[in-house]
Amino acid sequence: MESNDFYITISLPISTNEQISSIEHLIIDHSCAIDELFAITSYTPHLHRLKLLSLTDRNVNIRNIKPMILPNLTHLSMHIYSITSFTIFQKFISKLNSKIKILSLTTIVEDITYLDADRWESFILTKLLQLEKFYFKYSAYFAENYETPVYIGQRDQFISSFWLQRQWILDIEFEFENIIYSIRPYRKRWYEYDTQKTMINSSDKLSKSIRLSLDDLYPEQSTKTIYLNDYINYALTLAQIYHLEIHAKIFCNKLMEILHLLPDVITLKIFSLSILQRGDLSDDEIEFLCILLPKNQIRKICFENMEDMDELYMLLLICPRINHLQIQCVNYMHAELLTGLILIEIKGVSNSLLGLLCFSIPEAHDEMIEKLEKMIDRENLRFDFIIKHVMDKIYLQWK
């Protein structure tokens, strides 16, 4: 195309019966307006799967578009990057006349109505009755001199019985200049080790499944006026946070600041904790810690890249109620060394609540259990415990 022809649009007429295609799986990986899509799909009534990588509304009055006849369409994946509002999206779905079973929707359109869980519930119960799996992603953009739309509805709508019964779970992630809200089917998480075979996906546990993932801990380095606490407070307008994952090395004072803002967190997954030596806290940090400790509810911790035992000692100081500790190990020798050090530490603490150790080891096998048992006997660390091997993990549990 010549550059001056870039905006030329060639309309496709609605198909006739002689022009029907047998296509069942269609991917449109360029910008496509709603009226154009309706024309295209008039040629493909046998579609089972449809993927749209950039759907636009192009200011077309969707009411003037005739319904699409796609009786076999069960999988729909959509990316919306333009001005398509939630209202337009609802009208579009209503025009499909399909029995959608799997819906995936990604949008960066800042129509805050996309986060209205009650409106989603009403829409799904009336227009998407066959829906089995729902994948949804909404991005809120943060930048200097930019007013990000704020959710002002009732908090925790995404843990109503409608969402819990379907096991569609809300996740929140902070990514460079964006807060990303995701809804997806529930999947088992690292902290769910169930020795009593109880239902780990019960409604009570699912109602406290909302997770926050942090990648950028210091947004002020690029934005200057927007801080991490601004992101956290924004996210808290939609939902309470119960699980925290930090995918970068973090200083103790920063971790305590985050935990102070998130008093309901019960599990923590952390990449690495930056400290100088055991007990290395300033007077201000000690005072802050005394305020934080009574409110801290964290019971389970996972270390992805623990470089020094002092990191663990400090984390046990910050989170004294921990009863489940998981550590990513390089190999078996790493796990054996940590087992000895941790058990010795526990024997010296009369009121320790820790009762489960989990080591994630590449190529873990049953022989490692025998070696650990011999090491515990050899070091005279024997007490009533159970060792299990599950996939790539070794579990050591005691009363």
- CA 4-29-37 angle, to 5 degrees, is 85
The identity of residue 313, as a single letter, is: Y
Coil/strand/helix, residue 107:
strand
CA torsion angle for 56, 166, 211, 205 (degrees, to 10)?
170
Number of other CB atoms surrounding residue 198 within 10 Å: 8
Number of other CB atoms surrounding residue 335 within 10 Å: 24
The CA distance from 120 to 103, in Å, is 13
**What is the reported pTM?**
0.87
Q: What is the mean pLDDT of residues 76-97?
A: 87
The CA distance from 362 to 346, in Å, is 26
Sorting pLDDT into bands at 50, 70 and 90, what band is 199? very low
Q: For residue 201, is pLDDT > 60?
A: no
For 365: left if phi > 0, alpha if psi spans -120 to 50, otherwise beta; the answer is: beta
Q: For residue 13, is pLDDT > 80?
A: no
Q: Which residues of 350-370 are buried (b: 16+ CB within 10 A; e: fewer)?
A: eeeebebbbbbbeebeeebbe
Coil/strand/helix, residue 26:
strand
The burial of 380, by beta-carbon neighbours within 10 Å (0-12 exposed, 13-18 middle, 19 or more buried), is given as exposed
Coil/strand/helix, residue 127:
helix
- The per-residue DSSP string of 167-228 comes to TEEEEEEEETTEEEEEEEE----TT---TT---TT-HHHHTT--EEEES-S-THHHHSS--H
DSSP state of 66: P
Coil/strand/helix, residue 277:
coil
Q: What is the pLDDT of residues 251-273, one digit of tens each?
A: 888 898 899 899 999 999 999 99
Q: Which of 13-27, 94-108, 109-123, 316-330 has the lowest mean pLDDT?
A: 13-27
The CA distance from 62 to 54, in Å, is 17
The CA distance from 298 to 266, in Å, is 4
pLDDT at 66: 77
The identity of residue 98, as a single letter, is: S
pLDDT at 185: 96
Sorting pLDDT into bands at 50, 70 and 90, what band is 214? very high
Of the chain, the percentage scoring pLDDT greater than 70 comes to 84
DSSP state of 231: H
Mean of pLDDT over the chain? 85
Query: Going along the chain, which residue ranges are E strands?
Result: 25-28, 32-33, 49-52, 55-56, 75-80, 102-107, 133-141, 168-175, 178-185, 211-214, 243-251, 267-274, 300-303, 324-328, 356-360, 385-390, 393-398
Instruction: Answer whether 347's CB lies under 8 Å from 380's CB.
Output: no
Task: Provide CB contacts within 8 A for 208, sequence distance 6+.
Answer: 242, 266
Instruction: Answer whether 326's CB lies under 8 Å from 394's CB.
Output: no
pLDDT at 317: 81
The identity of residue 353, as a single letter, is: L
Orientation angle between helical segments 332-347 and 367-378, nearest 10 degrees = 40
Number of other CB atoms surrounding residue 162 within 10 Å: 17
Q: Which of 1-5, 161-165, 190-194, 392-396 has the lowest mean pLDDT?
A: 1-5
Q: What is the mean pLDDT of residues 205-218?
A: 90
pLDDT at 194: 62
The CA distance from 301 to 273, in Å, is 12
Q: What is the mean pLDDT of residues 96-113?
A: 91
Sorting pLDDT into bands at 50, 70 and 90, what band is 10? low
The CA distance from 339 to 396, in Å, is 9
